[in-house]
Chain A
Amino acid sequence: MKSMYKNAVMALVLFAGLTLVSCNQGGSNNGGALKSSAAEKVFVAPGEYDSHYAFISGGFSGQLSVYGLPSGRLFKVIPVFSVDAEKAYGFNEETRDMLKTSHGYIPWGDSHHPDISQTNGVVDGRWVFINENNTPRIARVSLETYETAEIIEIPNSAGNHSSSFVTENTEYVVAGTRFSVPIPQRDISIKDYKGNFKAALSFIKVDPESGNMDLDFQVLMPGFDYDLSHPGRGKSHGWFFFSTYNTEEAHTLLEVNASQNDKDFIAAVNWKKAQEYIKQGKFKTMPANYVHNVYSDETHTTTSTTKKSVRVLDASKLPGLVYLMPTPKSPHGCDVDPSGEYIVGSGKLSASMTVHSFSKMLKAIENKEFDGEAYGIPILKFESTLAGTVEQPGLGPLHTEFDGKGNAYTTFFISSEVVKWKLGTWEVVDRKPTYYSVGHLMIPGGNSRKPFGKYLVAMNKITKDRYLPTGPEVTQSAQLYDISGEKMELLLDFPTVGEPHYAAGAPAEVVKGFSKKFFKLEENKHPYATKSEDDVRVVREGKNVHVYMTAIRSHFAPDNIEGIKVGDRVYFHVTNLEQDYDVPHGISMIGANTSELLIMPGQTETFVWEPKQVGVWPFYCTDFCSALHQEMQGYVRVSPRNSNIKLSWSLDDE
């Protein structure tokens, strides 16, 4: 009541001010009072915390960035599928293998759909899973360290797009293929696509304690394109829904040839049934080739293993595993409401949106209300599963999220807007423009049984004139709406890193308690860790020289090294001895053909330097660590190959 009164007074004062200004200028200026209330809603005073975390995918940047809501402030960019020289990710000896695949080392990826782990259908703030679209992979990002903890490659998959969504107890993180391919890969004509190309939907088991991922099984499907997916929840827990397009099975000029069928499908996969089939041994073990990389917070190192087989369940041969629900015109989004009853298919070329009912689907299966089959998979009658249609809501529907109060919010790419409509009555209640061409939207917890329906983030594909111009490439952007009222209110535009493809969010209280302050030195099991200045040393093994170095405010030990020769391969294994919050040290060496290191307290990281010239070459701390940061430096003497200068090292000439 009091704040309402205050707002009203503020609005009046501002209105009076505006009237004066406009009188003076003789022009008109409206909306000022409204804007000021939007400013208040996104203002987080210096030193105060935001109320929500948003984990926004970097799209083609391959990263995941961490923002605060409602301020839209950027906290961190977590490198996931692309190298990051700042953090030495993909450069140092410890993390290079994180980017290893069956195709070798890949320095870039296309990150798409982050999803936060869940317990009992509610986001639990432990991990964020995110998929790489180009070379199919799923990553797990730790919300203790805000680092990529694990990456698993997905075999039999291409364009890993209908991924990486979690079931309601994080039993599985699921990955579906967008492109169908020959399975297993073989040398055949592209024209033989139809009937020969197949798709795989991958169910990756997640260890409830460690979070470690393991590809449990794949469901082999007809050669359609599997666009997006979502888990069933509540009553539909145990099912997973995938939207499909190109049920025409075209292999060229898809924009025309994959847009011919009146209806494509939403595939409903019964994964509890799949588990039964696995138990009964009804799977086929197929040869495969995929890489699994796990980073350890104890050894601070990646372990990379190559796996050679995968268990496959053939949907065409196993009854009851998959049903197809006809859905008009190349459905893109495939979104399940918090109750688990409604499955929203956004036919992107359709004038209206189709909503399926889970309970009607079960009844239709029971009564065998089929309308033929595709490759042995029953097609349910369109009318039998239909819950309702949202008529003419806009142009180009893509994605839907929910506020937990019976409302759904759908983005429309072509008409550039977010539309709010009611579940059950299917009536449109509000619409607000986006700037411009919105793709995904995110409501914190919007993919769970319990959305936190206060904010909505719309993620736009283009921005045009919304920001100061920066040449042909302009910033990418997200927009924040307040959805707590009957009408949506646009509060804020904020620029994003890369393309804000999709995001996951949660209240700060759910997430922030997991964050680690530093790594305990006594738990450091890095093979080249140096836990005390008494243990620093330099060891020569032929042409390889290992420097066991430490960093603490404000010096390196050792900081003078002699006896290195041109042509040596020098490994700097640097341990940060600090045991305090927010005291990283960096290090870089003149002429090293790699990135700096940025070492967290208690951590060990390694960079390699191959000196090519005789001389005395300095290194220094790159992270402003302390008042004597500028003094944190050292020298390495490099002698000719044939020199017989003895290897020596020191700190303060001792």
Chain B
Amino acid sequence: MKKSKILMITGSLLLLTLFALPLWNITLEAPQYPDPLGLDIHIDKLADGNNPNDVRNIDLLNHYIGMDRLPEDMLEFKIFPIVVLVMAILGVLVGLSGKPRLYLTWVIIMAILGVAGIYDFYSWLYHYGHNLNPHAILKFVDKNGNPMAYDPPVFGTKQLLNFTVHSYPASGAYAMMVGIVMAIWAFVTGKKEG
């Protein structure tokens, strides 16, 4: 088999690691939490990020500022697995076809889906951080007098009250990125192989 085909097929199969590995991790640091709290975002669930019971303990803290409980099921948790599975199968088929142009198309679709996914993630965080219970125990306002919002960053680090919040891609996202790079590489070598 040609090198490009192997790269393309392996790259798309790497997507399947997302069924086991988390896509994103949000870590909350505070002096009272020498073991920081963590939230792992998977394509099909939210999970304890750093210690057992993290989701439970984040919910417990969030109730003071009137945040909703973290969702156990969302529409995304149903859609994402299907999208990932379809893209993986599609990638394998594209690889078998051996056509570099299709490789590139696959990469472009992946990029569009990625941007859409991140936008969805952002809007979820925004909604979650802004949509607060009016009877919240602790109500803070920002310097303009507006109710304080608690949306964690999509990417990067931010201070939220006593917590320093870090939001970064996790192992699953890195595996996916490697997969995409392999698909681009497949496209380049495929063209050379002519």
Contacts and interface: CB of A to CB of B under 8 A. Distances in A.
Interface of A: 552-553, 578-581, 627-628
Main secondary structure of the interface of B (DSSP, over half): mixed
A552 B60 contact: yes
A552 B63 CA distance: 12
A579 B137 contact: no
B10 to A, nearest CB: 40
A580 B64 contact: no
B56 A579 contact: yes
Nearest to A47: B34
Interface string B42-76: 00000000001100110010001000000000000
B53 A580 contact: yes
B137 A580 contact: no
A578 B60 CA distance: 9
B64 A627 contact: yes
A553 B35 contact: no
A581 B53 CA distance: 11
Nearest to A580: B57
A578 B59 CA distance: 12
B57 A628 contact: no
B135 to A, nearest CB: 10
B139 to A, nearest CB: 13
A579 B64 contact: no
5 contacts: A552-B60, A579-B56, A579-B57, A581-B35, A627-B64
A583 to B, nearest CB: 9
Nearest to B60: A553
A628 B60 CA distance: 13
A579 B138 CA distance: 22
Most chain B beta-carbon neighbours within 10 Å: one of A578, A579, A580:
A580
A581 B60 CA distance: 14
Contacts of A578: 60
Nearest to A602: B53
Contacts of B138: 627
Contacts of B52: 579
A553 B53 CA distance: 15
A580 B138 CA distance: 21
A579 B57 CA distance: 7
Contacts of A627: 64, 138
B64 A628 contact: yes
Contact of A628 (B35, B53, B56, B137): B137
A486 B4 CA distance: 74
Contacts of A628: 64, 137
A553 B57 CA distance: 10
Contacts of B56: 579
Contacts of B64: 627-628
Contacts of A581: 35
Nearest to B137: A628
Interface in B62-112: 64
Nearest to B63: A553
Interface in B100-129: none
B31 to A, nearest CB: 11
Contacts of B35: 581
Best-surrounded residue of A552, A579, A627, A628 (most CB of chain B within 10 A): A579
A472 B138 CA distance: 51
A393 to B, nearest CB: 49
A627 B53 CA distance: 21
Nearest to A578: B60
A259 B64 CA distance: 71
Contacts of A552: 60
Contacts of A580: 53, 57, 60
B67 to A, nearest CB: 15
Contacts of B57: 579-580
Interface in B5-64: 35, 52-53, 56-57, 60, 64
B136 to A, nearest CB: 12
Contacts of B53: 579-580
Top 3 A-B pairs, shortest CB-CB distance: A579-B53, A580-B57, A579-B56
A581 B36 CA distance: 12
Nearest to B35: A581
Nearest to A552: B60
Contacts of A579: 52-53, 56-57
A627 B35 CA distance: 20
A517 to B, nearest CB: 9
Nearest to A601: B53
A553 B60 CA distance: 7
B29 to A, nearest CB: 15
A628 B65 CA distance: 12
A516 to B, nearest CB: 13
A580 B57 CA distance: 7
A579 B137 CA distance: 21
B140 to A, nearest CB: 13
Which of A552, A581, A627 lies at the interface centre, i.e. has the most chain B CB atoms within 10 A of its CB? A581
A627 B138 CA distance: 10
A167 B183 CA distance: 66
A644 to B, nearest CB: 35
A557 to B, nearest CB: 13
A522 to B, nearest CB: 11
A580 B30 CA distance: 14
Given A552-B60, A579-B52, A579-B53, 12 more contacts: A553-B60, A578-B60, A579-B56, A579-B57, A580-B53, A580-B57, A580-B60, A581-B35, A627-B64, A627-B138, A628-B64, A628-B137
